Chains A and B, each alone.
Chain A
Amino acid sequence: MKKIAVKIDDLTVAYNYKPVLWDIDLEIPEGVLMAIVGPNGAGKSTLIKAILGILKPIAGSVTIYGKPYIKQHQLVAYVPQKGSVDWDFPITALDVVKMGTYGSLGWIKRPGQKEKKAALEALEKVGMLPFKNRQISQLSGGQQQRIFLARALVQNASIYFMDEPFQGVDATTEIAIINILKELRKAGKTVIVVHHDLQTVPEYFDWVTFLNVKKIATGPVKDIFNDDNLTKTYGINYKVSIQE
């Protein structure tokens, strides 16, 4: 049996007393590349935010390798949705990536040469080194997403959470991102992605969680990614043709 990277027990999250996540129990094994799928408003982003302590649940608990998130935040990297930040902020691509090192530095200590080197390496990895001194609003949507990915890479975490990393990126960037995610999994990391495009689930991921306010199913893609679960999640008679 593999180690459990993330364990969620009886998690309920509500906005203004309306539950958006209801009694979620979920175990995410170490080393999987997992998609969270579900319709709009299913609580996919909320689930990630609750795991990361950005939102307070009204019930339930989350542990990362057996301990609460607050003690384990160094093990976790997070790529938020692109729309969650102000792209006109006066900051360069390199500076954004450097922020990934802040967690290991802790309060007050400043990033130095070591952190800069790590940030440059991450930029290189996502093919963004030539853009390091660009102000971030001068980057295309795909490039902005790559900067976010580089920032997560620099955190050198064990678990990566990504909220719709393929939103509004071109095909080249999508392939570049998924290749990096696959590399992370090969290196033994756990990668959890909020994903919209059902067609690409079998090709990109090896683990999947169906979510629609409640957890519908979770497990290996080859076992549970089927019409039955899709119908239960999306509420209509869903058929996908899975190309092997």
Chain B
Amino acid sequence: MSNAQLEIQLIASVVAAACAIPGTFLVLRKMAMISDAISHSILPGIVVGFFITQDLNSPLLILLAAFTGIITVVLVEYIQKTGLVKEDTAIGLVFPALFSIGVILIAKNANDVHLDVDAVLLGELAFAPFDRLILNGTDVGPKSLWVIGTILIITISLLIAFFKELKVSTFDKGLAASLGFSPAIIHYGLMSVSSVTTVGAFDAVGAILVVALMIAPAAAAYLLTTNLKKMLVLAISFGIFSAILGYWVAHWLDASIAGSITTVLGLVFLLVYLFAPSKGIIAVTYREKQQRIEVSLLTFLLHLKNHDEVSERHVKHLNEHINWQKVRSKSVLDLAQKNNMIHIDNHIVSLTSKGNEFTSKAIDYIITNEDSQIEDMKNDFFLFRG
């Protein structure tokens, strides 16, 4: 691996980590689309900043562009507050307007400015190592690494300092306000960090990948944990993992690095979406099926308990009366038998003493509305295992 390759992966990883932190809070605040808005509408800020500084990595340019991001948020909120349009519409109105101003500014000055729309949208990570930071004549590494590294360190410091405030205002705005933590300050703080991160990252990875790096890792992490700190760590890990793997995919395919990283991010999310242990699609579907069978079994047992008369307990009658299809009634019957809940004598179904006890207990719990205890009870009876 060459030095440049290592540097590209390092830059991509630092960008991923810096994006995942504000991204986690944007996802939890249901504001994912605002990152898209910010990433596009910073363009005029970048162009104006570039005219002034002639340097894409200048701190002044970053602050100017980030300020455009804040303006976006303020405009969106202002339009939304008039009550005439909804938030998503307001976002759709504001960012194309700002973005197009940026596009026109570039087009008007394209001849003498090293900046084009493609670079803004997709970034060019491969060139990042060529722009070096020279201090007192010594090369201390790529400029963009220093820029995004500084942003990451500031983001982490703010996160550690204001973790509790971020947590409470994201979870319960009303409580945060009543505790004396102004939700507005925290909101605009988060928006500022998101804007600065977007500007710092877009030069390396482009406006579209910034959105992917903010949202996809956080969305995947959200499906895997019930702890905010773990969600942050997972989101950062997914981001870094995708950045490095994406780089190598691009290397093998000889394709765009930004595009490959985004593809890997999408795949990571897809895998988590399918296979997450409790919130994944497969787990949810399996659980729903399991629950349907459990409810059927309970219904069946309750029916048996309610009816002493033999005619109500004939195997055939159960098909007709409970109105289940044959397959379903057979699987319920099998399950009940396997767990020694019932015995079948000459086509007449009866509860065993174990089945009787289980059903009485279940009725008690249902009447007293303690559903959670039915779960505990199932363990007592070794039901539904195997």
Contacts and interface: CB of A to CB of B under 8 A. Distances in A.
Interface residues of B, number: 30
B165 A52 contact: no
B371 A80 contact: no
A218 to B, nearest CB: 23
Given A70-B180, A73-B178, A80 B228 contact: no
Given A107-B165, A108-B161, A86 B171 contact: yes
A16 B83 contact: yes
Contacts of A216: none
24 contacts: A16-B83, A49-B174, A54-B174, A78-B178, A80-B175, A84-B174, A85-B171, A86-B171, A89-B28, A89-B170, A90-B222, A90-B225, A90-B228, A91-B171, A95-B167, A99-B167, A99-B171, A102-B165, A102-B181, A108-B162, A108-B165, A135-B226, A140-B371, A140-B372
Given A90-B226, A91-B171, A76 B178 contact: yes
Contacts of B174: 49, 52, 54, 78, 80, 84
A99 B231 contact: no
A193 to B, nearest CB: 16
Interface in A71-112: 73-74, 76-78, 80, 84-86, 89-92, 95-96, 99, 102-103, 105-108, 110-111
Given A53-B177, A107-B181, A170-B369, 17 more contacts: A49-B174, A77-B178, A78-B178, A80-B174, A84-B172, A86-B30, A90-B228, A90-B231, A91-B228, A95-B228, A99-B167, A99-B172, A99-B175, A102-B168, A103-B178, A108-B165, A110-B163
Contacts of B171: 85-86, 89, 91, 96, 99
A108 B161 CA distance: 5
B327 interface: no
Interface in B310-342: none
Contact of A99 (B28, B168, B180): B168
B161 A90 contact: no
B108 interface: no
A49 B174 CA distance: 8
Nearest to B30: A86
Given A78-B175, A89-B171, A111 B227 contact: no
Given A52-B177, A105-B164, A92 B172 contact: no
B188 to A, nearest CB: 15
B368 to A, nearest CB: 8
B172 A85 contact: yes
Interface of A: 16, 49, 52-54, 70, 73-74, 76-78, 80, 84-86, 89-92, 95-96, 99, 102-103, 105-108, 110-111, 135, 140, 151, 170
A53 B164 contact: no
Contacts of B167: 91, 95, 99
Nearest to A171: B369
B375 to A, nearest CB: 11
Contacts of A99: 167-168, 171-172, 175, 179
B328 to A, nearest CB: 29
Interface of B: 28, 30, 83, 161-165, 167-168, 170-172, 174-175, 177-181, 222, 225-228, 230-231, 369, 371-372
Contacts of B227: 90-92
Contacts of A90: 28, 222, 225-228, 230-231
Nearest to B168: A99
Contacts of A108: 161-162, 165
A91 B372 contact: no
A6 B163 CA distance: 32
Nearest to B179: A103
Nearest to A96: B171
A106 B182 CA distance: 11
Contacts of B170: 89
Contacts of B222: 90
Contacts of B164: 102, 105, 110-111
Contacts of A135: 226
A74 B181 CA distance: 12
B60 to A, nearest CB: 29
Nearest to B230: A90
B314 to A, nearest CB: 38
Contact of A53 (B28, B165, B168, B178): B178
A160 B84 CA distance: 36
Contacts of B30: 86
Contacts of B83: 16
Q: Counting chain A CB atoms within 10 Å of each CB, which of B164, B231, B369 scores highest?
A: B164
Contacts of A49: 174
A78 B180 CA distance: 12
Contacts of A54: 174, 177-178
A115 B168 CA distance: 15
Give the 8 A-B CB pairs with smallest separation, nearest first: A135-B226, A103-B179, A78-B178, A73-B180, A52-B178, A80-B174, A85-B172, A54-B177
